[in-house]
Structure 1
Amino acid sequence: MKQRSAPFLPLMACLIFLAGLVSFAGSSRPALADEAGDFDYYILTLSWSPTYCADQAKRNRDQLQCFSERSYGFVIHGLWPQYEKGYPDRCPTRFRDPSDKLVSQMLKFSPSESLIHHEWDKHGTCSGLNALDYFRLAVKSFKKLNRPEQYKDLARPLLMTASQIEQSFYNANPDLPKDSLFITCGRQKLREVRVCLDKAGEPRRCSASALKGQCRSKDKLRILAVR
């Protein structure tokens, strides 16, 4: 059998190199390691705690959130740095992990020590902020967002579509621009409300990439009662 001629090898190497360039150009994330502070905007994610605690496996992991005397409605899941396409995570940072005191203070808004540490490791490290300033911005943004009265101390489950839930937040926050928030769902239940913010914590439109994660169901979702 004849061997391929020598010029074939340089040709193959060239084709592989060009393919790598095309792959890089089409990537939605930087080729290098994610860099702290290098992102476009935030997503403030609020979890509907009753849905989380309805999951047997999850509720057993978070005794404070699901079995304490306090009944939780919307809680801070996280403040997530975003690219216009994709997001950074677990960035190298010179800042220390959150102190025990800071974690204790955050439990009022994110009632899970493991969640607080996870959010810092995965998302906070990419903010370019130290742990105190990162969680301070999360709490400030959370307090600034009006949660509609109908969800506070909810005694009985509600049935609402995703668009109705979104509109209730727009009605309670008339300064929010169009497409600056969206709903996520699972098993026909409300899971989260996600609000897009600029780096200063002011509302902005969500990117098309982020909106791909919104609830697509047209049916009514169950908003479980606060226990």
Structure 2
Amino acid sequence: MAFTPRATASLLAAALTVLVALGSTAAFSQQRTQERRGERAGEFDFYVLSLSWSPTFCAAQSSGNRDQCGTDKNFRFVVHGLWPQYEKGYPDFCSSGEPARVPNNVGRPFMDIMPSMGLIGHQWRKHGSCTGLTQREYLAKTREAFNRIRIPDDLASGRAALTLSTDAIEEKFVAANPGMSRRGIATSCEGRRLEEVRICLTKDLRFRDCAEVDRGGCRISNVTMPPAR
């Protein structure tokens, strides 16, 4: 098909409009990324303490994680992370004067509750950097938050597999922790297994409600907690 000079000019103008629009979209996306990465450390509303059920994590590890999932390990609930949150959304990967890598002498004393230096380092870079704390302060705050929680005895044992509703899991945590509300806790699942229990805390680690976190919980009726090894 032959194009007239006018038609050719129209096609070129349309193509140029599309290219400009695509360029603007890319620039806007890059700007939004820069804005997220530029979030200011220490400016957030509350914390989420995420407790991972280690047997679920280890069941999905094909190559194994020896620190957490070795045959001589039998972790139950461990800390996935202590996450600064906004009422909607959360900051991540904030600028910090601390190094990106967490030194062994700083991280290893916390491996009883966060059993991997890889996990500790990642949590520092993504979440801890946004708290306004140093690495040592962030890890100490994480332990303080973990110690704040009483894990229900029947959930903590890990002696045998348990299958129960997510409501029952949350109710057990609420019953074991005075001041905790069902509106301040959420479970997450991996398939039909319990993955994590997420608990909302104020900056001084008191229990608080958190609507967005609560809404994001697992929606299936029952989950299984695999036994510890």
Q: Decide: shared fold, TM above 0.5.
A: yes
Alpha carbons of structure 1 residues 56 and 32: separation in structure 2 relative to 1, 3 Å: closer
Is residue 2:206 matched to residue 1:183?
A: no
Task: Please report the TM-score for the alignment, with normalisation by the length of structure 2.
Answer: 0.82
Equivalent position amino acid for 1:66 in 2: C
Contact in 2 for aligned 1:183/1:192 (Cα 8 Å):
yes
Is residue 2:142 matched to residue 1:138?
A: yes
SS of 2:132's partner is coil
What is the aligned counterpart of 2:115 among 111, 115, 134?
A: 111
SS of 2:79's partner is strand
Equivalent position amino acid for 1:75 in 2: V
C-alpha deviation, 1:106, in angstroms: 1.1
Instruction: Supply the distance in 1 between the matched residues of 2:169 and 2:224 (Cα, whole angstroms).
Output: 11
Contact in 2 for aligned 1:98/1:132 (Cα 8 Å):
no
C-alpha deviation, 1:95, in angstroms: 2.3
Task: Please report the TM-score for the alignment, with normalisation by the length of structure 1.
Answer: 0.82
Contact in 1 for aligned 2:187/2:218 (Cα 8 Å):
yes
Instruction: Supply the distance in 1 between the matched residues of 2:182 and 2:191 (Cα, whole angstroms).
Output: 27
Equivalent position amino acid for 2:205 in 1: G
Alpha carbons of structure 1 residues 61 and 38: separation in structure 2 relative to 1, 3 Å: farther
Partner of 1:50: 55
Higher helix share: 2
Structure number with larger C-alpha Rg? 2
Is residue 2:219 matched to residue 1:221?
A: no
What is the aligned counterpart of 2:210 among 197, 202, 206?
A: 206
Computed over aligned residues only, the root mean square deviation of the Cα atoms, in angstroms, reads 2.5
Instruction: Supply the distance in 2 between the matched residues of 1:113 and 1:197 (Cα, whole angstroms).
Output: 25
Partner of 2:93: 90
Q: Residues 49-72 of structure 1, C-alpha deviation per residue, up to 9 Å, x if partnerless?
A: 000000133xx3521100152310
SS of 2:183's partner is coil
Partner of 1:152: 156
Instruction: Supply the distance in 1 between the matched residues of 2:182 and 2:67 (Cα, whole angstroms).
Output: 36
What is the aligned counterpart of 2:170 among 166, 172, 175?
A: 166
Identity of paired residues, percent? 34
Structure 2's unaligned 5+ residue stretches are 1-5, 11-20
Q: Residues 197-216 of structure 1, C-alpha deviation per residue, up to 9 Å, x if partnerless?
A: 111111110132x2332001
- The alignment of Structure 1 onto Structure 2 pairs a total of residues equal to 206
